[in-house]
């Protein structure tokens, strides 16, 4: 065989998250090459112009969305062979470094994004089974669980590496069948099971046998380009977990807010409905907020007290989060 030298490029992906009117939203970018599939903001790392990965990421996000990012943290390195390749492709293998970014929407942000061919979109458009705020999502019983039940009865294809748990056990752990057993942090695990079972359009696009055998079944959620929906699932799992031990929710809140607005934002991210009095007790016990002395009449009802994040907490002790939901 002739000598072949592997060529690798480093890409940078950003999951830019905001909450608006109780909707957890991410920025997606329109790319004519992707046949109208949604993309996360992304671009190649340029070692000549980008001193660090994060500088490169912020540069790409600003050029594609006009957003100046605040809070940013690295998620994971996505390097699976096939994530950016098609059959016969001899181009470089792209390894992508994913980031989670939290921001607050401004009154003009929607128009600003539109001028840059990007927009906000609810992350539940991509993951409708993750939203339990109004009860158990119908798509679980109507489509997901019957299809997964059939998949657990199939014989795994020859050559598939053995796994420590059976398909049925993995489905049971990832998809808690009742609210108390639903762990919102397993969003990535659920996505990867659905991909493996061939229930996502990305799996058919990638030529996965399970998806090719299920042409008569609908595919779940809105598909994204490359493995961007997997990157988004990773970000959802990370942020939902982080809510419980760090005060990251305040990166998404305005400077002043009502406790109802805070609860609505926590519910939006976690995908869970929270009991009002229990939530307020959690906030009070964690000593996360302080009253401003002002009130809001925006809801049209009784004036609601306005609060702000108690920044002194960060210097007093490791700031806790809000232990809501599973685990």
Mean pLDDT computed over 25-46: 86
Q: What tokens does 141 get?
A: 């019983």
Residue 175, classified by CB atoms within 10 Å of its CB into exposed (0-12), middle (13-18) or buried (19+), is buried
Confidence of residue 1 (pLDDT cuts 50, 70, 90): very low
Q: What is the pLDDT of residue 108?
A: 85
- pLDDT tens for residues 105-126? 888 888 889 998 899 999 999 9
Distance separating alpha carbons of residues 268 and 132, to the nearest angstrom: 10
- 14 CB contacts (<8 Å, ≥6 apart)? 27, 40, 41, 42, 57, 60, 61, 69, 72, 98, 99, 101
- φ/ψ (deg, to 5) at 7: -115, 130
Domains 9-125 and 250-316 share a fold: no
- φ/ψ (deg, to 5) at 296: -125, 140
Domains in the chain: boundaries: 9-125, 134-221, 250-316
Q: What tokens does 37 get?
A: 């599939």
Q: Is the full-model pTM beyond 0.85?
A: yes
H runs (alpha helix) in 66-137: 109-115
Asked: is 9-125 a CATH 1.10.3720.10 domain? The reply is no
The residues that bridge with 77 in the sheet, in sequence order, are 97
Q: What tokens does 52 get?
A: 């660090």
Overall residue count recorded for the chain in this entry: 327
Mean pLDDT computed over 273-300: 91
Judge whether residue 59 has pLDDT over 90: yes
CATH class belonging to 250-316: mainly alpha
């Amino acid at each position: 065989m002739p000598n072949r030298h592997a060529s690798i490029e480093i890409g940078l992906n950003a999951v830019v998250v905001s909450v608006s009117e109780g909707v957890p939203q991410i920025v997606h970018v329109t790319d004519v090459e992707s046949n109208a599939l949604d993309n996360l903001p992304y671009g190649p790392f340029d070692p000549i112009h980008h001193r660090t990965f994060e500088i490169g990421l912020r540069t790409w996000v600003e050029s594609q969305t006009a957003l100046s990012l605040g809070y940013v943290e690295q998620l994971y390195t996505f390097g699976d062979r096939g994530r950016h390749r098609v059959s016969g492709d001899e181009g470089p293998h792209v390894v992508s470094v994913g980031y989670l970014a939290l921001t607050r929407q401004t009154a003009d942000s929607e128009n600003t994004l539109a001028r840059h061919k990007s927009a906000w979109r609810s992350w539940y458009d991509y993951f409708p089974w993750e939203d339990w705020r109004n009860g158990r999502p119908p798509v679980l019983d109507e489509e997901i669980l019957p299809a997964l039940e059939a998949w657990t009865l199939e014989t795994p294809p020859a050559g598939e590496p053995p796994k420590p748990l059976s398909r049925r056990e993995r489905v049971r752990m990832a998809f808690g069948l009742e609210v108390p057993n639903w762990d919102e942090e397993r969003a990535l695990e659920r996505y990867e099971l659905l991909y493996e079972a061939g229930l996502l359009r990305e799996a058919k696009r990638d030529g996965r046998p399970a998806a090719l055998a299920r042409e008569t079944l609908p595919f779940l959620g809105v598909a994204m380009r490359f493995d961007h929906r997997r990157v988004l699932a990773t970000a959802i799992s990370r942020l939902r977990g982080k809510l419980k031990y760090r005060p990251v929710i305040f990166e998404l809140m305005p400077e002043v807010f009502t406790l109802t607005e805070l609860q609505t934002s926590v519910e939006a991210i976690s995908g869970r409905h929270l009991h009002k009095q229990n939530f307020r007790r959690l906030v009070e016990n964690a000593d996360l907020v302080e009253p401003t002395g002002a009130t809001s009449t925006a809801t049209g009802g009784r004036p609601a007290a306005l609060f702000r994040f108690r920044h002194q907490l960060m210097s007093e002790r490791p700031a806790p989060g809000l232990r809501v939901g599973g685990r």
